[in-house]
A and B are shown apart, each in its own frame.
Chain A
Amino acid sequence: MSAVTLHAITVLGHDRPGIIAGTTGRIADLGLNLEDSTMTLLRGHFAMTLVCAGDAGAEEIERALAPLAADGTLTVTVREVPDEQAPAPVGTPWVLTVHGGDRPGIVSAVIGEIAGVGGNVTDLTTRLTGDLYLLIAELELPAEVDADALEGTLRAVAEQLGVGVTLRPAESDEL
């Protein structure tokens, strides 16, 4: 397969029906192929990131998507990104869950411990609902990491923060 140009596009702002249809329709009209994408609502704000492949340049894509942002409630960014080869699996997959009373610094303190052992976050969601703060992360931990010891460290950190933490293997069943 020949090398193709990839662009990362972000769309952020006030949610309303039709944003995805409008964005992807304009992308399709440019002949771009939508590859990976993710979208969610963050405290009610529409937040989408997508990576598309094709020959159109960043300026052309920006021009095509400009009408989406015309009313000032959405911000669209476009930038070319290199083709990243998915790294070979080096470790084991885990799911980290943290929840408790909200306070500043929960994510940085907990995820700092993961980074400290060379762990990589591959997916992350945090939510604040009322006073409850929730963090769910998919991790890849290097094979040499002692998960029990790491969980012990995380528990100690969590205790200082007044939150609970669990670390469990993200095993999938082959069927």
Chain B
Amino acid sequence: MSTHSLVAAWTEADLDVVGRVRDVVRAPDRVLATDGARVDPTAPEVVQLAADLVATMRVSPGCVGLAAPQVGESAKVFCVDVSQHPKARDHHGTFVLCNAEVVEASRNERAREGCMSVPDLTGDVKRPSRITVRGQLPGSGEEVTIEAGAFEARALQHEIDHCDGLLFLDRVAGAHAIYARKTYL
């Protein structure tokens, strides 16, 4: 697996707009269950949304990713940054992708996920741990294809699911694989 140098070098400063911290919506808000619209990554409102997502992620303790539906926008835009997470391996730092999709996936692993939009539950979810994702960078609109593994792969799939109107609840491993959250960040 190799990291994509353009994506790894990307920072929110590339957006050239100031991000605003937005309220995070919670299930059962219907926006979280709605397939997000594809976006024009060069549109000013999409660039602003990208900046807002990063700004909101930054002020949320432990948050490694945030998707547009989580701030109430039904759109295929998300940010991730797993660089501070102990389970992260090779990663791309902070970046935002528009219209992203998983184009290759392998090596399923099961792990317990939580989500800011579902604050009272966690669930065991099986996801591929090696993936290839294609998407566009906000601002330039450049199409990029990145390889991701381990925790970054999980975070990317969780956020892409949000953009498609899916929560981890939609992928939970079984009827008894859902848990009341017992600790709060």
Contacts and interface: CB of A to CB of B under 8 A. Distances in A.
Nearest to A136: B176
A123 B178 CA distance: 10
B176 A175 contact: no
Contact of B111 (A122, A123, A173): A173
Interface string B109-127: 0011111100000100000
A93 interface: yes
B59 interface: no
Contacts of B185: 174
Interface string A29-47: 0000000001110000000
Contacts of B113: 172-173, 175
Interface residues of B, number: 28
Interface in A65-104: 86, 89, 91-93
B48 to A, nearest CB: 24
A89 B154 CA distance: 27
Interface in B156-185: 158-159, 168, 175-176, 179-185
B155 interface: yes
Contacts of A123: 176, 179
Interface string A108-139: 00000000000000110100000000000010
A89 B119 CA distance: 14
A108 B154 CA distance: 38
Interface stretch (B6-14, B33-41, B60-68): B60-68
Contacts of B181: 172
B116 A93 contact: no
B179 A174 contact: no
A89 B115 contact: no
B151 interface: yes
A107 interface: no
Most chain A beta carbons < 10 A, residue from B87, B116, B155, B182: B182
B87 A140 contact: no
B185 to A, nearest CB: 6
B83 to A, nearest CB: 14
B179 A170 contact: yes
Contact of B64 (A39, A86, A171, A175): A175
B64 A174 contact: yes
A174 B112 contact: no
Interface of B: 62-65, 85, 87, 111-116, 122, 151, 154-155, 158-159, 168, 175-176, 179-185
18 contacts: A86-B180, A89-B184, A122-B180, A138-B179, A170-B179, A172-B114, A173-B64, A173-B112, A173-B151, A173-B154, A174-B62, A174-B64, A174-B114, A174-B115, A175-B114, A175-B155, A175-B159, A175-B168
